[in-house]
Homo-oligomer: A and B are copies of this chain.
Amino acid sequence: MRKPCKLLFGFFFLGLTAVLAQESLQDQPLVSPEVREDGRVTFRLKAPEAASVRVIGNWMPREGFGRASEAMERGTDGLWTLTNPVLPSELYWYNLIIDGVTTTDPSNVHLIRDVASTFNIFIVPGGKGDRYSVQSVPHGTVSKRWYDSPGLGKARRVTIYTPPGYETSTEDYPVLYLLHGAGGDEEAWSDLGRATQILDNLIASGEAQPMIVVMPNGNAAQEAAPGKSSEGLKQPTFMMPRTMDGDYEASFRDVIDFVEANYRVKADKENRAIAGLSMGGFHSLHISRYYPDTFDYVGLFSPVIMPRGNPSAPVYEALDETLATQKNNGYKLYWIGIGKDDFLFDEVTAFRTRLDRLQMPYTYLETEGGHEWPLWRDYLTVFAPRLFK
């Protein structure tokens, strides 16, 4: 005897799990968001029982520490819609607010996590958005791998991008160490930062040299991103212990040693770069002067400059002297980028004054915007082409 759902599904068959959270099979699946050619975006939600549905996204006006939201309009049959004015080409994120609850759009499986929040994403193509999109170009390999850190006394997970052709060539490659901010982990740059797509595209266009990009976990207290370690499926926290106690910087040779022992790399100063955002910029600043003859390229994206509190870690001492040593040892690029609205703006300005006083050359980019990912993706796109040339 044929079972009823076999008959029902005809040519194909459905895992029961696949239909559970979807509309009934008779309905056409909703398209949300629909990104139109002119840059307008339409959001849709079927919610006949809801009294209010709003969209909140990172293109909306700032409101306090967050963003304003915008009401969707209820149509017939409880279909709510909102069409946004034209947006410039970018990668955007948003949530839906359903009767006051901020959550994800069930019609959009493309999600990113930022610390403990999950957002839907979409890309408006035709400009910057194309940089962050998967294009028809050769693709590098992205690996999640574990290595031992004797300095931190634990195994740690790291994301490693090897450029297209790495596996089949016999060449050695330069390495960019790319560090995340507070609340991030070894998944931040590849997921939120679109580093894989950015590098694939810059290498394909000839703008950037083929390079290995190493994206370690910058939280000394953590083995791996939440859910990826034996701590289980915990919620991420922003305020982790040991992010700025100096141990991470002091043990950074562990990850360099691992990479240089396990990958075909050019293991010298002129083929090493280090860059990071926010806390990762802070780490890059201090690592590069603590190991003052190790990196020819340093990138500080919206960086924190000095630790909060007064940790008594050797790595944070003798700032001027170690910067002077780093300067005297020589480097090719010391790059700083920050948004005009960043709450770290004054701190970075004071650091630039310090560099000027030390006659330490640097390249400075001041952009619109605050302390947020659109800037950091953009900074990587500007920074990576300047490396290893």
Binding site for B on A (CB under 8 A): 1-3, 5-6, 10-22, 29, 31, 45-52, 56, 58, 62, 65-67, 93, 95-96, 98-111, 113-119, 121-123, 125, 133-136, 138-139, 141-146, 155, 157, 164, 167-168, 181-183, 224, 226-230, 232-233, 235-236, 238-239, 262, 278, 304, 308-309, 343-346, 370-373
Measured between beta carbons, the chain B residues less than 8 angstroms from A344 are 6, 13
Let me know if B103 and A15 touch, CB within 8 A: no
- Closest beta carbon of chain B to A345's beta carbon, Å: 8
Measured between beta carbons, the chain B residues less than 8 angstroms from A45 are 101
Query: In terms of DSSP, what is the predominant structure of the interface of chain A?
Result: loop
Measured between beta carbons, the chain B residues less than 8 angstroms from A46 are 101
Measured between beta carbons, the chain B residues less than 8 angstroms from A236 are 109
A15-B182, A16-B65, A19-B65 given; 7 more Cβ-contact pairs under 8 Å: A12-B239, A12-B308, A14-B182, A101-B106, A109-B227, A125-B232, A134-B228
- Closest beta carbon of chain B to A101's beta carbon, Å: 5
One of B108, B229, B238 near A14 (C-beta < 8 A): B238
Measured between beta carbons, the chain B residues less than 8 angstroms from A133 are 230, 232
Question: How many copies of the chain does the oligomer comprise?
Answer: 2
CB within 8 Å for A182 and B141 given contacts A18-B115, A49-B51: no
Measured between beta carbons, the chain B residues less than 8 angstroms from A122 are 233
Let me know if A155 and B142 touch, CB within 8 A: no
One of B29, B115, B167 near A235 (C-beta < 8 A): B29
Q: 6 A-B residue contacts at CB 8 Å? A: A16-B371, A18-B116, A49-B52, A110-B233, A134-B227, A138-B146
Let me know if A98 and B95 touch, CB within 8 A: no
Let me know if B309 and A11 touch, CB within 8 A: yes
Let me know if A110 and B227 touch, CB within 8 A: yes
Nearest neighbor of A277 in chain B, beta-carbon distance:
B15
- Closest beta carbon of chain B to A89's beta carbon, Å: 13
Nearest neighbor of A225 in chain B, beta-carbon distance:
B109
One of B51, B58, B232, B309 near A99 (C-beta < 8 A): B51
- Closest beta carbon of chain B to A318's beta carbon, Å: 23
Within the assembled complex, what's the spacing in Å between the Cα atoms of A111 and B227? 10
Measured between beta carbons, the chain B residues less than 8 angstroms from A346 are 1-3
Let me know if B13 and A343 touch, CB within 8 A: yes
Let me know if A118 and B114 touch, CB within 8 A: no
Within the assembled complex, what's the spacing in Å between the Cα atoms of A143 and B158? 12
Measured between beta carbons, the chain B residues less than 8 angstroms from A104 are 103-104, 106, 118
Measured between beta carbons, the chain B residues less than 8 angstroms from A12 are 182, 238-239, 308
Let me know if B58 and A17 touch, CB within 8 A: yes
Within the assembled complex, what's the spacing in Å between the Cα atoms of A182 and B16? 12
Measured between beta carbons, the chain B residues less than 8 angstroms from A20 are 56, 58, 65-67, 95, 117
